[in-house]
Amino acid sequence: MFAVTDDLPLVADWVMRETNKTDKTGIQWTLTHILLRTSADGLRYLVIRATKDRTTN
């Protein structure tokens, strides 16, 4: 679990992408990639969340 705190700079770029994948065991996953890039201090924060949707077998 990641939290965005108030002490981060206000200027940021958000990029969000969702991808559906099925692994070798037949479980389908929805991968959500959220990238927060702060331009004030040059730090980059990457949060990747994977949730299991359903099984296909």
Q: What is the pLDDT of residues 12-21, one digit of tens each?
A: 455 556 667 7
Q: In what order do the strands lie in the sheet with 44-55?
A: 12-22, 27-38, 44-55
- Cα four-point dihedral sign 9, 14, 20, 23: negative
pLDDT of 22 above 70: yes
Residue of 57 and 33 predicted with greater confidence: 33
Q: How confident is the model at residue 9, as a pLDDT?
A: 44
* Residue count of the chain: 57
Predicted TM-score (pTM) of this structure: 0.29
Residues 27 and 47: beta-carbon distance below 8 Å = no
Q: How confident is the model at residue 43, as a pLDDT?
A: 59
Here the tokens at position 23 are 């692994």
Confidence of residue 37 (pLDDT cuts 50, 70, 90): low
49: β partners:
32
